[in-house]
Structure 1
Amino acid sequence: MTPPVLRFAPSPTGLLHVGNARTALYNALFARRGGGTFILRYDDTDTARSTPAFAEAIAGDVAWLGIAPDRVEYQSRRLARYDAAVERLKALGRLYPAYESEQELEAMRQSRRRRGLPPVYDRAALKLTDAARAALESDGRRPHWRFKLEGRQVVWDDMVRGRQGVDTATLSDPVLVREDGSYLYTLTSVVDDIEMDVTHVVRGEDHVTNTGVQIEIIAALGGTVPTFGHHNLLTLPSGEGLSKRLGHLSLRALREEGEEALAVAALAVLTGTSLAVEPVAGLDELAAKIDFAKISRAPARFDPAELSALTAATLHHLPFEAVAGRLAALGIGGGEAFWRAVRGNLARLADVADWWRVVEGPVDPVVEPADAAFLAQAAALLPEGPWDNEVYPRWIAAVKPASGRAGRTLFHPLRLALTGRESGPEMKALLPLISREKAAARLRGERA
């Protein structure tokens, strides 16, 4: 099987949201699983709205998700390729100039609606004579260029939706070139997919109609039609769609709020499928779960509250190797033993700093007057060594009979003194990380 080539083609006109991440992940992980190529391709031909800052933000978001592209392309650097495609389509008689203003087009649509006709472009521009076109241009009109559809049933086997068809006779001939000479995505996407040998196009279901049009353009340019898959779209719990313009669930915001990238990826990929939404240990595991046939046709509700819970659950399962670098960047020591001790008590990775302070100190011990004598007795019974994973059971085995205490009256005062906290990690795992000297001082009520 030929290794697949897939692409994610965002417009750098705003911050990526979790719905964009869904598309990016489906493409990147499908390519990864098949040993193929993942292309990050910036749809930046709209120079009025595209900015380098947003392109840089997109690169940062993709890196945060862990789906580093194998290749990066900018459509703004490929204009000569689009120029050549336009000239070819003109020579084939498939691209024609039209001069109507937006106001004239809207009036035309309204007129067709009143007559019970679909509000599609009526190809009036094809009836213009050379003299009429020259007159319009002498009056300052500049044409936009439309692709002449064949008006046929375009069908394909969709990886998500099964057999699909679009009757292009019901559509307006799409504009491929604006009046100012800039290109629309409908053209640039096709040219790039052909020249970059894209084998699979995975995108939102809002592009289904576009696919019918683009298959005709691909055929006109002599390209090979890729395999298409149109996944359902994420919505908020209210049913509202996500929007870059409204800043809904931007990846930057989720990152700043401390959500785990793996949790975002798992929820973005698995929501709206027949698969269970659950923590994953890595992207390879998530890639193995992808089955386009299991994606629902209904909208997928993305709940931020569910993301927070999944972030915590993800942290609880992450091995030390997955976080070692991040812990070092936070100045956290303790190695794997510390991570295993505290990870089950984290809601966000940043919480780990609180538990590191418990280990390193200083801690203000909580010592109730009624427990002072008991804690002093417990301090005297602290084992000399070895200070290993069994130190806590050995200590408790000595303290329990000596004090006559059991249950909460035994364990709770020890926890309060040693950590200053009502609850937390198992003391069996935590005590070996606290030095004997610090433990003894805290049991005596000293800040250490």
Structure 2
Amino acid sequence: MTVVTRFAPSPTGFLHVGNLRTALFNFLIARKAGGRFILRLDDTDPERSTQEFADAIQRDLEWLGIEWDQLEKQSDRFDRYAAAADELRAKDRFYEAWETPTELDLKRKKQLNMGQPPVYDRAALSLSDDEKTALRAERGAGVWRFKLDHQRIEWTDGILGDLSIDAASVSDPVLIRADGQVLYTIASVVDDTDMGVTHVVRGSDHVTNTATQIQIIEALDKTTPAFAHHSLLTGPQGEALSKRLGTLALRDLREQGMEPMALLSHMARIGSSQPVELVDSIDALAEGFDLEHFGSAPTKFDVEDLWPLTARVLHETPFELVADDIAALGVPADIAPAFWDVARANITRKADMADWWALFRHGATPLVDDEDRDFIAEAFAMLPDAPYDADTWGTWTSAVKDATGRKGKGLFMPLRKAVTGRERGPEMVDVMRLLQVKPTL
């Protein structure tokens, strides 16, 4: 059996870290098994779906190296959804209902007051043909609901284990709105079964939805895929992450300088029994991926955990992969490799290279304590003009030591701060041989 998975985002906004978790899990399962991964755009809402967001979704996935084998748009498949709806009507599993939102809300409140589950009471099923005609004339088209079999719906979840939901505790789901819009619940079922999807991984907020979809699949005499529901992300203190997802868009992380493998390595492991480790390729990530390592507890996510991983990615990146970025800064070709060797150990993101080149090219604003000002002035007077080499730091500091009597930290730290404007950074031997101008007070 060929493993087939899918990621089905709505092009109504930008992808965020929560979306990425779902996309990545499905992609890694397919990649590990040598199967197929489908990108399916859930664009059945014409008012909110835009090409801009569809393009952005693809751009984000391409940036991360998440490649799809098949691209589908649900807006191209309305004929298939209509055929499935007709089949459900013929099997007496689909019915029209006309309650207004206010009427449904009053029904729910009454049920809650009586200690009953707030589910749709199926009043529409008892309407006569004349009553339906009258309601259609008064209110227009109604919504179309799937008639659930009131029995337990059971399946073995790939993460949560054996699950069982009483269908009587769930409202008959609306599959088509009064305005004709086809909703996710049926569109997803038709697409998954038509496209041979074998495994569906999504958030735990879809568990009840999965139960109803299993019955829809069975009503259409199709094969049910294996379902798994991963935990939802929270903030670092366990707070709801949903309000912050707008600030955790993948495009924003990319613009901030996040490295793809840092993000992927982190998202593939948090919430599992495996430690987060930086992995150097998607294939290696897929090889070590297994849903059995994940649990049901909410997963804490802190974006700050991604920056040390990004720094490690850069530290391990060979010069050839950043040569163009360095050339764009104006670093001469003859010192570019040496510049990268120094910079990569002292940056968190690629953009930080610009600060280091500015220091080497133009010099830094000296950081000098009042009690060291005369010492620094004397030391700078002893330093020849650039260019410098690997021996400059040792020769200069020896001369300064002999002239001033300073040594150890009292010698080296004030000179580092004065030359670089920083208290820490690369070895000063390396700083001096890259420095293009003589430092001045």
| Residues 176, 382 of structure 1: alpha-carbon distance in 2 compared, 3 angstrom cutoff | closer
State the number of aligned residues.
432
Kindly state the Cα deviation for residue 207 of structure 1 after the two structures are TM-superposed.
0.6
Kindly state the Cα deviation for residue 42 of structure 1 after the two structures are TM-superposed.
1.3
More off after superposition, 405-414 vs 202-211: 405-414
Deviations 1:307-357, CA, capped at 9 Å, x for gaps: 334433443344445544554555556544432322121122211111122
Q: Partner of 2:267 in structure 1?
A: 268
Deviations 1:190-231, CA, capped at 9 Å, x for gaps: 111112211211110111111111111112223221121110
Kindly state the Cα deviation for residue 244 of structure 1 after the two structures are TM-superposed.
7.1
Q: Partner of 1:29 in structure 2?
A: 28
Q: Partner of 1:442 in structure 2?
A: 438
| Residues 130, 40 of structure 1: alpha-carbon distance in 2 compared, 3 angstrom cutoff | same
State the SS of the aligned residue for 2:40: strand
CA contact (8 A) 1:417 1:442 kept: no
More off after superposition, 127-136 vs 334-343: 334-343
| Residues 381, 268 of structure 1: alpha-carbon distance in 2 compared, 3 angstrom cutoff | closer
Q: Where do residues 269-308 of structure 1 align in structure 2 (5 Å cutoff)?
A: 269-308=268-307
Q: Which runs of 5+ in 1 are unaligned?
A: none
Deviations 1:12-58, CA, capped at 9 Å, x for gaps: 22222211111112122222232222222111111222222222222
Deviations 1:342-393, CA, capped at 9 Å, x for gaps: 212112221111112233445567895435665666659999xxx6xxx34x
Partner Cα distance (1:51, 1:240) in 2: 31
The CA RMSD over aligned residues, in Å, is: 3.1
CA contact (8 A) 1:205 1:231 kept: yes
| Residues 330, 225 of structure 1: alpha-carbon distance in 2 compared, 3 angstrom cutoff | farther
State the SS of the aligned residue for 2:115: coil
Q: Which amino acid counterpart does residue 210 of structure 1 have in structure 2?
A: N
Q: Percent identity?
A: 49
Q: Which amino acid counterpart does residue 86 of structure 2 have in structure 1?
A: E
Q: Partner of 2:375 in structure 1?
A: 370
CA contact (8 A) 1:18 1:264 kept: no
Partner Cα distance (1:382, 1:325) in 2: 24
Q: Partner of 2:175 in structure 1?
A: 176
Q: Partner of 1:111 in structure 2?
A: 110
Partner Cα distance (2:322, 2:279) in 1: 14
CA contact (8 A) 1:345 1:425 kept: yes
Q: Which amino acid counterpart does residue 254 of structure 2 have in structure 1?
A: R
More off after superposition, 192-201 vs 340-349: 340-349
Q: Which amino acid counterpart does residue 442 of structure 1 have in structure 2?
A: K
More off after superposition, 227-236 vs 400-409: 400-409
| Residues 331, 19 of structure 1: alpha-carbon distance in 2 compared, 3 angstrom cutoff | farther
Kindly state the Cα deviation for residue 411 of structure 1 after the two structures are TM-superposed.
4.0
Q: Do structure 1's residue 256 and structure 2's residue 255 form an aligned pair?
A: yes
Q: Which runs of 5+ in 2 are unaligned?
A: none
Q: What's the TM-score, normalizing by structure 1?
A: 0.85
More off after superposition, 402-411 vs 299-308: 402-411
Q: Partner of 2:230 in structure 1?
A: 231
More off after superposition, 200-209 vs 327-336: 327-336
Q: What's the TM-score, normalizing by structure 2?
A: 0.86
State the SS of the aligned residue for 1:202: strand
Q: Do structure 1's residue 357 and structure 2's residue 358 form an aligned pair?
A: yes
Q: Partner of 2:394 in structure 1?
A: 396
Partner Cα distance (1:268, 1:369) in 2: 53
Q: Which amino acid counterpart does residue 350 of structure 1 have in structure 2?
A: A
More off after superposition, 358-367 vs 273-282: 358-367
Q: Partner of 1:14 in structure 2?
A: 13
Partner Cα distance (1:265, 1:90) in 2: 44
Partner Cα distance (2:276, 2:109) in 1: 46
CA contact (8 A) 2:393 2:428 kept: no
Deviations 1:93-135, CA, capped at 9 Å, x for gaps: 2211122222222222223233332221222222222222122
Kindly state the Cα deviation for residue 397 of structure 1 after the two structures are TM-superposed.
7.5
More off after superposition, 248-257 vs 125-134: 248-257
